[in-house]
Structure 1
Amino acid sequence: MKKQLLFLILILFTLKAVAGDGRKQEVDSLLAKSMEFGGKGDLVTYIEMAIKALNLASAVNYDVGKAKSGSYIAEGLITVGLFKEGLKQLDRIETTDFYKNEIFMQSEVHRLRGRAYGGLMLYQQALRELRMQQGLIRKLTGEKQIKSYQFNYENLAVVFQRLGQLDSMQKYTELQLDNLKVFAEKDAAMRYQIVYENLGKLYVQKGELAKAQLYLDKSLALIEKYKIPIVLNTYGVLGSLEEKRGNLKKAAAFYEESLKKKRVAGSRIGIKSSYRELADFYRKNNLDKARADHYEMAFSRLNDSLENENRQVVDQVLNQILQLKDQESETKVSKVATIAILVLVLLVGAISFFIWRTRHNRKALLQKEEALQETESVNRELTEQIGENKFNTLVELAKSNNPEFLTLFTELYPQFIQALKSRDSNLRSTELEFCAMAFLNFSTKNIAEYTFVTVRAVQVRKNRLRKKFDIPSDADFNNWMRGLVDTSEQA
């Protein structure tokens, strides 16, 4: 009898495992369907399939499915402009074991956060996320690494374009080109064509028209050689190039050709931008008022239509997200009874802890207030010395771990750098940068955050510098650094 019972239990466990595997396969199938709809530009169905996958993965506790479906949902939300909702999905992904163990998923979360922050016009946060992604991409290999770099460089180029930093935009657009060199031209013809097109547009903006022509000719050659079917912007950029040269007849022909290509491709957003382009061109150059009015009217009609459609898409997506939240709430309700019991058991301990914590926090708060007052005093002094704008720029460079930080700091505080080098002429740039952050009164935690290392690593480096400069153990490290300038001036 016992053997039969054990045999039945074994069968039940086997059936449960098989059923679980079947549900996991169903999740993977839903994710594959989601990708298909995403490739067709059907964002509503793309997100709908991903939400179904997430619900099923949560029901069977399929960790990989929860992470992947969450990333699909986040990508869709960010694409339709629901940036804050997308960021919430990314927070959920970080709770999965798959995220914690999979470098590529970590890289993707930083990429998506970069896109979301860029959409919210929080450009410094976007740059930070994308630079953190680069650190993870270095650990990847093969095609995943190459594609990740390509998207990373594209996103960085977009952020710098929005910031109006054309040199940085150029750097990352050219890096896209270098990254593509591992592929044969015919295997990545469309990617090459888009990069050439972007470089052409960039050089038109910079007024380097010969270089712009060079890259646009390369784009046209690829279009002709590989019969690339969808060409949205090359002819429009050629129009702006000829307009800059003063060849208005050629410019008009290119702008009109660009509109024709976009109509063939069926790109309504592209058509809208061409209408705007043509209306502005004809009006600004006093060429043809009737044509300008015609394209202005066409732009208004299409823009209203697209905005209405976009609102409908956003409404549909929001409804799906609300349904997802309702389902999450139902799951939470079923856990309330268990949680209530745990709360009662822990209540006495929590009260005791609260009393102790309150006393501890009072003491910590006093210490923080003293430290804050000191920091504010130091910042006021430094700001008075060099001016608020330069000081703010210096702090932002430090926070984004920008290599230009040390250059600007040396320019603003040459006495401090000279005082350091007089004590040790062989100091490395990383040591100078570290001491500069201490001079600006950054805390150990701040330095660790801005330089992407652990707090422990910062403490170790401080101890090494204490030995190198004979800083007494009872002396405040930051105060000692700031005192160097006074000491050198007295000498």
Structure 2
Amino acid sequence: MKKQLLFLILFLFTLNSVAADDRKQEVDSLLNKTRELFNAGQLLPYIETAIKALNLSYESDYDDGIARAHSWIAEGLVTVGLFKEGLKHLDRVEPTKYYKERILAQSEVHRVRGRAYGELKLYQQAIREFRLQLGLIKNLTGEKQKKSYQFTYENLSSVFAQTGQSDSVKKYALLQLESLKGSDEKNEVFRYLVAYDNLGQLYIKKGDLVKAQLYLDKSMELVKKYKIPVVLNTYNLLGSLEEKKGDLKKAADFYEKSLINKREIGSRNGMKNSYRKLADFYKNTGLDKAKADKYELAFSRLNDSLENENRQVVDQVLNQILQLKDQESETKVSKAGTISILVLILLLGTIAFFVWRSRHNRKVLDQKEEALQETETINKELTEQIGENKFTNLIELAKSNNPEFLTLFTELYPQFIQALKTFDPKMRSTELEFCAMAFLNFSTKNISEYTYVTIRAVQVRKNRLRKKLEIPSEADFNNWMRELADTFAQTQVPS
């Protein structure tokens, strides 16, 4: 009886294992196809295929497939503008063994999350994700490390351009060029173009037209050298440069060339942006009212068409996500059925040994009672340590520039926050966070490091707060903050 039962259990597990291996091979094949679709720009088929791979991965408990599928679905969702859903999928990558054991997987999660935050205009969070990615990349080797550095520098340069931090734009664009040294110029030509165009745009904004011309000329040299058909940004920047110089005719020529280039490669979104640029240019300069009206109309029509198409794509993707959730539920039900059968078989085995088990029940119960008493003692000790643990957590939140820092600080030190608000009831959260760090006795260097700003910026903020809170110049800033909390607490004590 026992041998027959054991044989049946082993047979069922072997059968399930063989089926799972077949599904794993199918998952790998689907994921390879997924990357091809992404590189070809076919976003909807890309997401659909990744979802199929995810469902099969869950059916076979394939950890690698679950991690990669969630990660690639997230990138697709972020690309089509479904940032919230994309971030949810990234959260589901992190618990996997695949993610925990692979530095590149961790790096990619930070990259996609940074992209999502950047699109949501949460620039500080985006910068933090890309910097966390940089910390991981240094542990990679070879081509993976080189490529990861290039894309991260490019992403950081782009985010800093949106926040107007020109020094950082320059820093990361130059680092990108440095990382490209030794690479085959033809294979990396688009990375070079992005770096040169970013630097050209930077110097146009700074008014250094000579340097701007230098970098944009480098871009055009590469375009001509390798006969590149895609020049989405270079012509537009050359137009901006000529407009700054005051040569409106040349500027118009470059803006028109930019539009022609986008038409030739079929970039409808790029065409929409060019129509907007040309309409504004001809209107603001008074150069040609008829053209201004013509491009304004073209922009409106194409913008309406693209918005309608984007809504359709988003609707289709959302339907896919809803189907994914339904299929996940079905998979859970199917698993539950399989588990129920196995449980029933195991239950039969348990009944066969029931007499033997009954003799041990009393002993097990006694052990449980002892364990319960020990658990209660431990829980009491842990309760006494909660305050210390919260403070440790507070320091870690501050060091990682986590938005939850101010929430926990307010919970632990409510009187200090109340005291600050007596000076200004509408004091901004960034000012409250800064004062909180001073209260915790962080140095200027610490604050600079944790908030990703320069030491000079921290000193300027301290001076502003000194004026706002009327802190005497001879008073130590951090000590004044701690004394403020004590003074306020004393004033609240009933007489």
The aligned residue for residue 462 of structure 1 is none
The answer to whether the aligner puts 1:189 opposite 2:238 as a matched pair is no
- Normalised by the length of structure 2, the TM-score is 0.73
Structure 1: which 5+ residue stretches go unaligned? 342-347, 421-435, 442-477, 484-491
CA drift at 1:198: 2.2
State the Cα distance separating 1:106 from its structure 2 match.
Answer: 0.8
Q: Counterpart of 1:26?
A: 26
The one-letter amino acid paired with 1:322 is L
Question: More displaced, 326-335 or 195-204?
Answer: 326-335
Is the 1:398–1:405 Cα contact (8 Å) retained in structure 2?
A: no
In structure 1, the partner of 2:300 is 300
Q: Which residue of 1 aligns with 2:287?
A: 287
Asked whether 1:376 is paired with 2:425, we answer: no
Q: How big is the shift at 1:34?
A: 1.0
CA contact (8 A) 2:71 2:109 kept: yes
Q: Deviations over 1:141-169 (max 9, x none)?
A: 11111111122112212222222222222
* Cα gap change, 1:279 to 1:388, in 2 (>3 Å): closer
Query: Equivalent of 1:398, from 447, 460, 467?
Result: 447
Measured in 1, the distance between the counterparts of 2:160 and 2:447 equals 18
- Equivalent residues in 2 for 1:234-253, closer than 5 Å: 234-253=234-253
Whether the aligned pair in 1 keeps the contact of 2:31 and 2:53 (CA below 8 Å) is yes
- Cα distance in 2 for residues equivalent to 1:208 and 1:123: 26
Q: Contact (CA 8 Å) 2:114, 2:126: kept in 1 or not? A: yes
Q: Structure 2 vs 1, CA of residues 390 and 417 (structure 1 numbering), >3 Å: closer, same or farther?
A: farther
Identity value in percent: 57
Alignment of 1:112-123 (within 5 A): 112-123=112-123
Relative distance call for 1:84 and 1:4 in structure 2 (3 A) is closer
Specify the code of the residue in structure 2 equivalent to 1:212. Answer: A
Q: State the distance in 2 between where 1:240 and 1:370 align.
A: 51
**Partner of residue 222, structure 2:** 222
Mapping for residues 28-427 of structure 1, pairs under 5 Å: 28-333=28-333, 371-376=412-417, 391=431, 394=434, 398=447, 401-402=450-451, 404=453, 406-409=455-458, 412=462
Structure 1 counterpart SS, 2:450? coil
Displacement of 1:33 in angstroms is 1.1
Tell me the alpha carbon deviations over residues 349-400 of structure 1, each in whole angstroms, 9 at most, x when there is no partner.
99xx99x9899979969x998842344267569x78xx97984584699387
Counterpart CA distance in 1 for 2:6 and 2:331 is 33
**Alpha-carbon distance in structure 1 between the residues aligned to 2:279 and 2:291:** 7
Distance in 2 between residues matched to 1:110 and 1:418, nearest whole Å: 44
Report the equivalent of 2:346. Answer: none
Measured in 2, the distance between the counterparts of 1:244 and 1:14 equals 73
Give the CA deviation at 1:239.
0.9
Q: Please give the alpha-carbon distance, in whole angstroms, between the structure 2 residues aligned to 1:307 and 1:138.
A: 41
Structure 2 counterpart of 1:232, one-letter code: L
Question: Once the 2 structures are TM-superposed, how far is the Cα of residue 95 of structure 1 from its aligned partner?
Answer: 1.4
TM-score (norm 1): 0.73
Asked whether the 8 Å contact 1:128–1:400 carries over to 2, the reply is no
Question: Secondary structure of 2:223's partner?
Answer: helix
Structure 2 unaligned spans of 5+:
344-368, 391-407, 438-445, 488-495
Tell me how far apart the structure 1 counterparts of residues 39 and 479 of structure 2 sit (CA, whole Å). 52
Q: What is the CA–CA distance in structure 1 between the aligned matches of 2:381 and 2:451, rounded to whole Å?
A: 41
For residue 109 of structure 1, report the CA deviation from its aligned partner: 0.9
Distance 2:237 2:13 in 1: 64
C-alpha displacement of 1:187: 2.6
RMSD: 4.3
Query: Counterparts of 2:335 and 2:30 in 1: how far apart (Å)?
Result: 28
Task: After TM superposition, give the deviation of residue 256 of structure 1 in Å.
Answer: 1.0
1:77/1:370 CA distance change after superposition, 3 Å: closer
Structure 1 residue 244: Cα displacement: 0.9
Change (3 A) 1:393 1:256: farther
Q: Deviations over 1:286-306 (max 9, x none)?
A: 111111111111111111111
Q: Deviations over 1:65-110 (max 9, x none)?
A: 1100111000001111111101110111111111111111111111
Alpha-carbon distance in structure 1 between the residues aligned to 2:38 and 2:415: 53
Between the aligned partners of 2:112 and 2:452, the Cα distance in structure 1 is 24
- TM-superposed CA distance for 1:263, in Å, is 1.0
Shift of 1:268: 0.8
**Aligned counterparts of 1:363 and 1:232: Cα–Cα separation in 2:** 59
Q: Closer, same or farther in 2 for the Cα pair 1:390/1:233, shift >3 Å?
A: closer
CA distance in 1, matches of 2:145, 2:278: 40
Change in 2 beyond 3 A, CA 1:389/1:208: farther
Which one is further off, 160-169 or 410-419? 410-419
Aligned length: 416
